[in-house]
Each structure stands twice: as structure tokens, then as C-alpha cells.
Amino acid sequence: MNKTLRHAAVFFGVLFFALLGRATWIHAVSGESLAKDPNNRRNVIDAFSRPRGDIIVGGRPITGSIPTPGSDLLYKRTYVDGPMYAPVTGYLSQAQGATFLEGVHRDILAGTDLRLQRGGFDTLIGKKTDGGDIVTTIDPEAQKAAYKGLTDLGAKGAVVALDPRTGKILALASTPSYDPSVFTGNSIKEGEEFTRLDQDKDKPLSNRAIREAYPSGSTFKILTAAAALEHGTVTDIDASSGLPARYTLPQSSSTIPNVVPDAQCDKVSMKTAMQWSCNSVFLDAALKTGVEKMRETAEKFGFNKEHFTPVRTAASSYPERLDRPQTALTGIGQGSLTSTPMQMAMVAAGIANDGKVMKPYLVEQINGPDLSVLEKTEPEPHAQAVSEATARKVQDMMEHTVREGTAGQAQIPGVTVGGKPGTAEHGVDVRDNRPYAWFVSYAKQSDGTSPVAVAVFIDPSDMEIPESEIGGGRLAGPIAKAVMNAVLKRGA
């Protein structure tokens, strides 16, 4: 062989082994990352190559899949009662991705979760696995009551209902909402609709029930009462506090008024203070309990922590560094304290469940395409937030507030109901902002257990009503009552 041929042979040999090495490297080392690269069109084509599993509410699917002729993405998602269930399902869009249950359980719904693989011959020939179903804990009637209550008001707001005994999420509503079906494809029109929703000042894509935190106002007084009783700051809920109706903040000349005449709040007991939402008793209770013990109790109820239902919730905040005036203000749910509607539902549920707070969960079980149960959620406690004795005293106050106080809008004939309304000032200059309206409540069965606790949040900033008409009892109380009624009628 002459010199030229040898050089050519060596050169092409080097090229061959370089090509072989590169192919081996891509297959063995880079293959997985390339396969998962979001820019890999094959992944998107595969994800929409067949119908997906469904999200189930009350035994029926609230999602579906329909063909998309003329596209390499063969199917797109459809939704039943899309706006009502959007805070539960989220969306699955060919162009925008996935959120909430559609995103968290993407692999199950798409049939790519390893638990769905059949193995054997089907795997060998590359046969696609059908998607599984996500069975939710949502009570359809409670969800309807929550969504109808919010939309009838035309309000920005949210409702969360829990089963205090287990932590099941029975309702999860947020308004204004959106229909996920309108941008599930990847056309220009659907992209424009998503952009319009994303830029809307009313934030319809935002899940106010679990992803937005607000000052909780007077509804936080039930946690203040629980902390004060648990730590011995208050021992007798019927004893006079000796406090004047108007409370002067420490290190300040500022006084905090009440929403009722001063005569109703002068030297009253904690029970009467809860009944009429007198501020002085709870400001003083928080101050005397102290920031550390107040925060400790708040955290036992779930504050300062994200929760995974499995959809992530935003953390509610009881801040670490508070001076004496700020500590007092947390007693009435003001200052720098914030809470999601989910968190306040957990507080009400924990009180109703004799002090035990259960972790909230949205998925009852995961089914395979053959209806076999792949995973079932077991109730799990978050914490024993306060003792049973403390919880029973707070229940007594909340039930008295419904029977004879500011929470009368939640009364249900023949049913024991505990509740607390609240309004919350917010913003840099609260004079320029209409207060938020809240209502938290629970209902008991004849055996004393509670199958439902509710938190309702209303932002009345765009509502055409006088500010004097804004109140947790007036706006949010009837919604809480309707949701509790829906659960009770089911015979939970």
C-alpha cells in the first residue's frame, strides 16, 4: 500500500472512530438530557400523540382529549366546567405547558409513569401505555356552591373547604377564573388568548385560594385566642378583661377602634370580644402572649411553610422580627401578617378537629388505565396545634359568635356552626383601599365531629357597593353557609 493510501486509511479510520465515539457519548451520556430538553419537539409530539388520562371529580371526568386534524400534535385537552375547576386542574396547553394537577401528575396522565408500564412484550415492541386517572377529593356540590357564591357577587375572591378530620380538600374556588380549553392548542388565536389572560389586571390565571396571601383581619382572632389560652395568658374566657374599648398600642399614642360601639367592648371577656369582634382583648392577648409563642402556635397551624397538596401552596407568614406594637397588631390579623385562604381554612379545621391540624390533600387516589389503584392518599397530621381543652374553648366562642354575634349569617337550622367574620385593612395607605372581607367557619354533626371547615376571602375593590356595606359577615358569610350546607346534605 502506498503512502497516500495509508494516510487516507488512517484519516478515515480516525473519522470513523470519532463518529462512533460521538454516537456512543450521545446515547450513553447525553441521551437522557437531550430527551428531556424542553426544546426537543419529539417530546411534545409524543405527549400529545394519544388521549390522556383524566382528572376525576365526584366519579366523573372533568377533562378530556379531542383530535386536532392537520397537526403533528394529534390531541389537545378539553375541560368540563373549566372556569369552576381551573384552580384544581390547572391547564395543559400544547404551547404554554401545564400547571396544577395537569403539571404535577403529567407522567401519570400521559401514561409515561413507570408504574403504568406493562413490561414484557409490550415494552419490547414499544407499545404506548394508556394514561392513568387522578381521582380528586373535591365535592362537586361544594365546589358549585363556592364558585356560584363568588361569581354571583362578581367578586375577586377565593373559597377553600376542608374536611377537618382528614384534610381532604372539598372545594377550591378562585375568581375571576378562566376556561383552560380556550388555549389548549398552539394556534396564533389560542396564544393571543393566553397572553390576554396573562396580562389581565384582574389576574384570572392566579389561584387566589392557595397562591396569594393577604392580611387575614379579625379571622386571625381565633388563632390569637387559641395561643393565649394554650400558653396561659388567658385562663377564663368568661372573665372580664378589664380593658377599655379603645386600645392604645405600646410605645405609641395610636388607639385602635372597634367596628361596634365602644360600650359593647368595654372591659369585656374574651368570649364577648369574639362575639362582637372587639379589638382590645386580642391586641392585648397577642402582646402578653409574646411574639415567640404567637409564632410557635401559628406555625403549628401551618404558617411559615409551603404545603404540597400535591399542588404547592404559598407560605402564609407570621414574621420573625416584630416589635411590641407589631406583635399586638398580629392579634387582630393586621400588621405584616399574611395568610392564604387555604391557611385560614386549616386554622378553622384545626379548631374544629379538637386542635389537631391535618395536612390538606387534593388527590384521593391514582388509578391505572385498568382502574387498578396505584396510589391512595392516607390522612396525615400536620401538628397538634393546641390541646383539646383549648380547642373546645375556642369552639365555644366561635359557636357563640354564630348564635348571638357577628357571624349570624352562617346559622344553619338544627346544625351547630362556629364562625368568625373579619375585615382586613391593607396597602401602604389603607385609606385608599377598600378592606378585604373574610369569613371562616365549620359545621358539626350530631356526634360532635366536623365534616367541613370553610374559609372565604373577598376582595371588593371593584364591587359597586358602599364601603360601609363591606364586611365579612355580609359578603362572605352566605357563601360559607352554602358550602357547608352542600357538604352536610351529602351526609359526610
Annotated catalytic residues are 218
- 43 vs 106, 220, 332, 449, CA distance in Å? 13, 47, 51, 49
- Residue 397 burial class via C-beta count within 10 angstroms: exposed 0-12, middle 13-18, buried 19 and up: buried
Task: Give the bridge partners for 233, in sequence order.
Answer: none
Could you tell me if 427 and 433 are in contact, meaning their C-beta atoms sit under 8 angstroms apart?
A: yes
Burial class (CB in 10 A: 0-12, 13-18, 19+), 358: buried
Which class for 271: exposed (0-12), middle (13-18), buried (19 or more C-beta within 10 A)?
Answer: buried
Specify the residue for cell string 390541646. Answer: 387
Beta-bridge partner residues of 376: 365
Please give the grid coordinates belonging to residue 403.
348564635
H or E, element range at 88: helix 82-89
DSSP secondary structure string for all residues of 158-189 = EEEEE-TTT-BEEEEEEES---GGGGSS-SHH
Could you count the other beta carbons within 10 Å of the beta carbon of residue 120?
Answer: 8
Contact between 117 and 129 under an 8 Å Cβ cutoff? The reply is yes
Sequence-separated (6 or more) residues with CB below 8 Å from residue 104? 310, 311
Asked whether 184 and 77 are in contact (CB, 8 A), the reply is yes
The answer to whether 219 and 160 have CB atoms below 8 angstroms apart is no
Cell 395568610 locates to: 339
Q: How many CB atoms lie under 10 A from the CB of residue 287?
A: 22
Residue 426, φ and ψ in degrees, nearest 5: -155, 165
Cell 502506498 identifies what position?
Answer: 2
Judge whether 284 and 247 are in contact, CB under 8 Å.
yes
Find out whether the peptide bond into 67 is cis, omega within 30 degrees of 0: no
Q: Give residue 170's identity as a one-letter amino acid code.
A: L
